[in-house]
Structure 1
Amino acid sequence: METRNQTSVSEFLLLGLTEDLELQFLLFILFLSIYLVTVFGNLLIILAVGSDSHLHTPMYFFLSNLSFADICFSKTTIPKMLVNLKAQNQSCLTQVCFVLVFAALENFLLAAMAYDRYAAICHPLRYTVIMNPRLCGLLTLLSLFISTEDALIHSLLVLRLSFCIDPEIPYIFCEVIQVIKVACSDTLINNIFIYFAASMLAGIPLFGIIFSYTQIVSSILKMPSAGGKHKAFSTCGSHLSVVFLFYGTAFGAYISAAFIHSSRKTAVVSMMYTMVAPMMNPFIYSLRNKDMKGSLRKLVRSISAFH
């Protein structure tokens, strides 16, 4: 019986998108630009919310937390992508853990923001009672706790696996599904938990978002004035855009993985929700939200005056 070399390795060979040196340089510039725009844009959102007392509301509290999660999500993936363009060996377990934490955290924060809009539009007279600071803080901490627990369980299940020497991953960042695919030992438990966790941590928040907007649309349609309907819809527009962008790119990545047999093409698609969504969120909220635009202008003017 033929034996295979197996070991509990911590270094994985990330194959990246291309071996063309010129294209690698262009990708490096592109990823670096996306990273800088993502961090700078989301940091501006956090500073604008923190510096403007008019934005100290539950909606902007969750938005600032979402921006923080986007910064952390980008710092978890893009810098290591940049390093991997120069050196392919990488320790994956830490990155797997943090990617899972901040991806799940975004799910919960988007659901909390949908609940906030539901309370504001469907129960306006009780809004301040429902969305009190204690509940907002509790929702954020609970989201972070569940996301961290999920990531730790995934990481511990990966630690129990054995890998062939020099395992190759056709991505430029470590994703738990891709790491499991290169394992030499039985991955049944890992796969079961992946599907269970995905259905719970993505399915429940998504159901909450859909339910909230079903109630919101029903309430808006009952409003007598066209102006009231337009104002209500406009307060939800930015959040809905972010929801469609995040879930659209995430589902697109995993659905395409089932139909696209090229691993590197799948890697390109997966980069949409890890890179494009966090970069676009600040633009969506700053361009579509009058209060945010005003606060950002004040912040920029104060920074310019300081210098």
Structure 2
Amino acid sequence: MLSDLKIALVYGGKSSEREISIKSGNAVKEALKRLNLKFEVFDPVDSIDFVNRLIEYKPDLVFNVLHGKYGEDGSIQGLFEILGYRYTGSPVKASAIAMDKVLSKEIAQITGIPTPDWIVVENIKETEKWNVFPAVVKPNEEGSSIGVEIVNGREELCKAVENASKLNRQVIIEEFINGREITIGILNGRPLEPIEIVVEDGFYDFENKYISGKTEYIVSPYLVQEEREKLESYSLKIYNKIGCKGAARIDFILKDGTPYFLEINTIPGMTDHSLLPKAAKAVGIDFDNLVLEIIRGALDG
């Protein structure tokens, strides 16, 4: 019986996505209240206190809503494994692979899924290897579009790499593909409705994700059948190849009928701006039932 479960709801953390994690966590907390499920909230910002409280609580399940480093990269999943706790989301190895954009792009490429051309650099001197503009610069292991810039020339490229390298040792310089941004949510191995992201000004950066209010989300956008089939097929392929579980979200650029894989998120946002709840709602799963499905997926695994 779900009503007998002791759930540890974990959010906050130490990453650059802490504030987004708190928003997601608060939304899940309200859902758990409405569902009359037993839970306590845990924030691993103080690691020792967090572990001690968690061990004392002895949860039957950890509901993980930690975004970014330490929460989405396999680190905390390893802790849950050591302590013997079941938890929501992907296992250790899949979480670590998905957080590594380079590694997930390499897996996509090996699996036959198109992805924009890219190189990895660790200093400004290495930018000499790249001569195609515009280009996208991004830290290898950050989420929520933190540190992502679109650049149009050598000077901008060097500055963007310098900025991104403050967040991550490895920086990706990626081919900019001017197409439609489409995201596919997956819930327990089932693709949800596609969502197209249309940005009024600029691109889908942190500002346009969470602050500006000027981004349009088109649920079930117009797609020809072949495009939709490719998006769903590629999403499931990368989800399964990496070894993901539970909820995930896969981002693509669609151009001339070809979806180009960008990245996979193994703990998608659960805020009022978030795409996974929108995609779930489009197939008849409201927010509370989405939370229930995530819990059931973790228990079934």
Query: TM-score of the superposition, structure 1-length normalised?
Result: 0.27
As a proportion of its length, which structure holds more helix?
Answer: 1
Task: State which structure, 1 or 2, has the greater radius of gyration over its C-alpha atoms.
Answer: 1
As a proportion of its length, which structure holds more strand?
Answer: 2
